[in-house]
Amino acid sequence: MFRHIRSDIKAVFENDPAARSIFEVVFTYSGLHAIWAHRIAHYLFVKRWYTAARIISQISRFMTGIEIHPGAVIGNRLFIDHGMGVVIGETCEIGDDVVIYQGVTLGGTGKEKGKRHPTIGNNVVIGSGAKVLGSFRVGDNSNIGSNAVVLREVPESSTVVGNPGRIVKRNGERVGDRLDHTKLPDPVIEMFRSMQDEINQLKAEVARLNKEAEQPAAQEPEKMPVGGGEG
């Protein structure tokens, strides 16, 4: 229990450069309060005291703005920064060393039954406002960009951004179908290039014709003077 509390506080210092003292962290970090309340609620949930678990979860939501269903399974050193608006669903599983910012939803699509919320691997960062919806896995060491809407499995060590979410980086390398804006075709330049090619061809043709026109005159033999000579 105390080991958990110590590592939760340590996670705050590791992830938030604004954290100053243990006293400040313990009394003012709503993410920590939500996680501690969740540990009690989850304990009651596992013991099948569902209503008591939900009551604790709702009191915690009222105090912190963070709603974690008591059934969610949360690993070690989760850090919820700012927290307001975070929703974590019942069948969600979260690994170790995960960072979640405000406005994140780890929810269902409304189409699935049973396990309907995501499984988040270890060492994952989920940016503010991101929605991760469905019963798939987000692989270890992945980053979900703020405001991304993720609807499919995310492989390990990937960065996903946008709506719908797409992988833009894998193992540190850029991937995907994003256009390289420095290499976009420019239709005006293309048109000038093709006109220049045509002009060069026409110039070569004119030069050839001029040469041909000059050649017969040059080859013509010198004409004899017409008429008799003097005397």
The footprint of ligand COA (CB under 6 A) covers: 82, 101, 125, 127-128, 143, 145-147, 159, 161-162, 168-169, 174, 178
Rank residues 44 and 148 by Cβ distance to ligand COA and give the closer one. 148
Distance CA 94, CA 72 (A): 8
Rank residues 45 and 79 by Cβ distance to ligand COA and give the closer one. 79
Minimum distance from residue 92 beta carbon to ligand COA (Å): 19
Which secondary structure element, helix H or strand E, spans residue 175, and what is its range? Answer: none
Minimum distance from residue 194 beta carbon to ligand COA (Å): 31
Q: Quick one: DSSP state of residue 126?
A: E
The alpha-helical segments, DSSP class H, found in the chain are 2-15, 22-28, 30-46, 50-64, 187-219
Rank residues 70 and 127 by Cβ distance to ligand COA and give the closer one. 127
HSE, side-chain direction, 13 A CA sphere, residue 13: 12
Minimum distance from residue 139 beta carbon to ligand COA (Å): 13
Distance CA 189, CA 196 (A): 11
Minimum distance from residue 95 beta carbon to ligand COA (Å): 17
Rank residues 71 and 127 by Cβ distance to ligand COA and give the closer one. 127
Closest CA to 129 of 109, 150, 151, 146: 146
Distance CA 83, CA 48 (A): 27
Rank residues 64 and 91 by Cβ distance to ligand COA and give the closer one. 64
Helix (H, G, I), strand (E, B) or coil at 170: strand
Q: Give the dihedral sign, CA 169/175/177/180.
A: positive
Rank residues 56 and 148 by Cβ distance to ligand COA and give the closer one. 148
